[in-house]
Amino acid sequence: MPKPTIDDVARLAGVSPKTVSRVVNREPNVRAATRERVQQAIAELSYHPNQFARNLASHRSRLIALIYDDPSAYEVPSSGYILRLQQGTLKACRDASYELLIHPCRYNSRQVVDELRTLIAQVRPAGIILAAPLSNMPKIVASIEASGTPLVRLSPGSEIPGHRVVATNDREISAEMTRYLASLGHHRIAFIKGHRQHKAVGLRYLGYLDGLRGAGLERADELVVAGDNSVGSGERCAEQLLQLPHPPTAIFAANDDMAAGVLRVAARNEVKVPEELSVAGCDDISLARQIHPMLTTIRQPLVTMAERAAWSIIDGAVDDGPGGGMEIVAGTIQYRESTGPAPD
Amino acid sequence: MPKPTIDDVARLAGVSPKTVSRVVNREPNVRAATRERVQQAIAELSYHPNQFARNLASHRSRLIALIYDDPSAYEVPSSGYILRLQQGTLKACRDASYELLIHPCRYNSRQVVDELRTLIAQVRPAGIILAAPLSNMPKIVASIEASGTPLVRLSPGSEIPGHRVVATNDREISAEMTRYLASLGHHRIAFIKGHRQHKAVGLRYLGYLDGLRGAGLERADELVVAGDNSVGSGERCAEQLLQLPHPPTAIFAANDDMAAGVLRVAARNEVKVPEELSVAGCDDISLARQIHPMLTTIRQPLVTMAERAAWSIIDGAVDDGPGGGMEIVAGTIQYRESTGPAPD
DNA sequence: GTCAATACTGACAGCGCTGTCAGCCAGCGG
DNA sequence: CCGCTGGCTGACAGCGCTGTCAGTATTGAC
């Protein structure tokens, strides 16, 4: 038996195909009774609109392209990141009966721009979601914009006026983490700054300062040290902090890798975590749950961010103009084993 | 300027649209000179066929659906696995100008079958690639087959006659790993079996036996222990093996998690790896490169497997009938730090 | 009650491509 | 010379849907 078409539905419901189309597309100006009848007919025939015909007739695809840096280019794939992006986008796609096209590409490859141009020409996606770090590369952003395809950048912490961006509240949530540590009785909370070029990581430091203020604590210069986002730098910073005459009882690192370095040093020096030292990180990388003790950290709301990005394409809210361009999705603190009450 | 259509190309080349279509689709029965002229016109206008119109007119989509078990359902996502599947499929898709649709689903969810039915009805993919473990679930396989959609199962080690399967040479490569350990001078090579329901893992045991035979070694009963694929079981098995009066100098585990358990026990007991004990695993999960020492393991050729699967859909080779249904892609051994010459 | 404004509905013409089939031409056997 | 095959090409009719616009029903204001 052949698949039912819009005409079959129309005949059964006693309306025109166009009216069926209106119902399917949730367009206004259909009487409730009519809508009802059409919906019954759709259910009865278990009709599914043919996406190809829809796309062809409407000149719009229902395809969202998710573009991210190719993880296979690296030794250790940051795969949790990508899977969560995919997951969020997929969620929105399913609900809106859109489809998802994924396109990893190497940011440093010469032909990236050509590659994207071809992609756009071939599939004409309804919109593009560009994940960090690609979302911060002017060349790539410019080439997509030039094509006129709606673009949403997923960028933790950076913003360009007039562009649609979904970002997270790095600063606020870092402040919250700091206040949480303070609420556990910690008075000397150290902070390990990240790489100075990493914008989001910079915001976290500001959040730390906010948090100290909020908890009524003084900022102590010797408790702020600078790493470079690597595990190794976390170790060095931790050593420096623990050798202080009056060492901190809690260390908040601007990313999980550095926090893992702190844990390593603590283990080496037989400093018990969390009994003697609380450690908190940022990012909730998969390692955070695999190490012992499991790391208290800030989870970036990647799934939600990607979902919001997809919806802004689906809703056509990409060209919202200045002001409405930025959307913030709040991160959450994952309370785990590495933080606890301050020692007496 | 509007995108060029097939008619524009036809006019420029002085042929009919249908002939352009023939050239684009690599159909036979076009004179070489004509083909040439058309190709020039295509290049000149930088014409890209409209996929939606193609799909609509030809009743075939150029979409491959990759279906896999939803990793977000678990605490620790086996994300390397999925990314590599995606990577392989994408490669084929790009080369054939197909598109990739990804669809994670939870194998144990009640509505999986309905969900897949809807997916198929909505997008009518050209074919479906079903990844393990879904590929071994009769209900899911049956529901896809019932729809008539070409199906390729990605299944390390299991086969159903008459079905298209892309598999790997688990048994042979495990034998090779065993021979490699023997070649390093190890005479007492232990094996940790995996979960008895995991078919691929069973084949690895047979490969181990083959390898022993190939190296002229005797099989010793006390050197074969059974785990259940978990890290914890690997630890238990390792303890058992190391307490033997005449312990093994090499341990080959049927998966990386168990091998990681072995490494953990070695570290606890201050057994130096690889100086005193060589350890090998299977799967090359991302953890294998993150632990110390980095694990020698068998890398499943997932990327290639997925690529082959996609090509067999693209080439329409799915219904090759019995015999041609199974394709084997060879795995490779990743030689890393956890294996070395046997102690004197 | 009238009239304009508004809500609803349907006819129709494509979207850009491909399947079908008919037509043309060259080559060849009779 | 005819008829016939087989390689090559094009005319044409949709694929199943949506945008446009015109037409009809209904509402509200007076």
What pLDDT shows up at residue A122? 75
Among the ranges given (A288-297, B25-34, B69-78, B301-310), the one the predictor scored with the smallest mean pLDDT: B69-78
Q: B281 has which bridge partners?
A: B297
| Gap from A32 CA to C1 C1', Å | 30
> How confident is the model over B34-49, as a mean pLDDT?
92
What pLDDT shows up at residue B73? 53
Show the CA angle centred on residue A138, arms to residues B83 and A64, nearest 5°: 45
Residue A29 Cβ < 7 Å to strand C: yes
Checking if the pLDDT of A278 tops 60, the result is yes
**Domain ranges in chain A with CATH number 3.40.50.2300:** 63-169+302-330, 170-300
What pLDDT shows up at residue A319? 58
Beta-carbon contacts of residue A305 (< 8 Å; ≥ 6 apart): A85, A88, A154, A166, A167, A168, A329
Fold annotation for B63-168+302-330: Rossmann fold (3.40.50)
What pLDDT shows up at residue B265? 93
Give the whole-number percent of chain B exceeding pLDDT 90: 49
CATH 3.40.50.2300 fits A63-169+302-330, yes or no: yes
Q: Could you give the 3-state DSSP secondary structure of residue A214?
A: helix
> How confident is the model over A190-201, as a mean pLDDT?
80
**Each residue of B212-231: pLDDT tens digit?**
999 999 999 999 999 988 88
Residues 269-328 in A contacting B (C-alpha not used; CB under 8 Å): 286-287, 289-290, 303
Among the ranges given (A170-184, B64-78, B170-184), the one the predictor scored with the smallest mean pLDDT: B64-78
Ordered alpha helix ranges (H), A76-219: 79-96, 112-123, 138-146, 170-183, 199-215
Q: Which CATH architecture has domain B6-49?
A: Orthogonal Bundle (1.10)
Residue B297 Cβ < 7 Å to strand D: no
What pLDDT shows up at residue A77? 42
**Domain ranges in chain B with CATH number 1.10.260.40:** 6-49
Interface test with A, best of B75, B102, B235 (most A CBs within 10 A): B102
A122/B97 CB distance under 8 A: yes
B99/A48 CB distance under 8 A: no
B101/A101 CB distance under 8 A: yes
Q: Report residue B74's pLDDT band, with 50, 70 and 90 as the boundaries.
A: low
What pLDDT shows up at residue B344? 81
| Nearest-nucleotide field for A58 (CA, C1') | D18
| Gap from A223 CA to D5 C1', Å | 93
**Each residue of A321-339: pLDDT tens digit?**
444 578 888 999 999 999 9
B257 vs B233: CA distance, rounded Å: 9
> How confident is the model over B51-61, as a mean pLDDT?
90
Q: How many CB pairs under 8 A join A and B?
A: 92
What pLDDT shows up at residue A316? 76
**Each residue of A232-250: pLDDT tens digit?**
899 999 999 999 999 999 9
Among the ranges given (A1-5, A106-110, B246-250, B255-259), the one the predictor scored with the smallest mean pLDDT: A106-110
A146 reaches B (C-beta below 8 A)? no
Contact B281, B288 (CB under 8 A): yes
Cβ-nearest to A97 among B79, B100, B122: B122
B123 reaches A (C-beta below 8 A)? yes
Gap from B60 CA to chain A (nearest CA, Å): 10
> How confident is the model over B1-19, as a mean pLDDT?
90
Checking if the pLDDT of B134 tops 70, the result is yes
> How confident is the model over B240-246, as a mean pLDDT?
95
Return the exposure string of A228-262: e unless at least 16 CB atoms fall within 10 Å of the residue's CB, then b.
bbbbebbbbbbeebbeeeebbbbbbbbbbbbbbbb
A82/B87 CB distance under 8 A: no
Q: Report residue A157's pLDDT band, with 50, 70 and 90 as the boundaries.
A: low
Checking if the pLDDT of B323 tops 50, the result is no
**Domain ranges in chain B with CATH number 3.40.50.2300:** 63-168+302-330, 170-300
In this structure, are strands B250-253 and B278-283 parallel, antiparallel, or unpaired?
parallel
Residue A15 Cβ < 7 Å to strand C: yes
What pLDDT shows up at residue B324? 52
Nearest CA in chain B to A4: B121
pLDDT, chain A, mean: 87
DSSP assignment of A10-58 equals HHHHTS-HHHHHHHHTT-S---HHHHHHHHHHHHHHT----HHHHHHHH
Which class in CATH covers the domain with range A170-300? alpha beta
pLDDT, chain B, mean: 87
Residue B19 Cβ < 7 Å to strand D: yes
H/E element holding A306?
helix A302-314
Cβ-nearest to A83 among B3, B71, B84: B71
B56/A61 CB distance under 8 A: no
Using a CB-CB cut-off of 8 Å, the residues of chain A touching B52 are 52, 55-56, 61
> How confident is the model over A161-176, as a mean pLDDT?
86
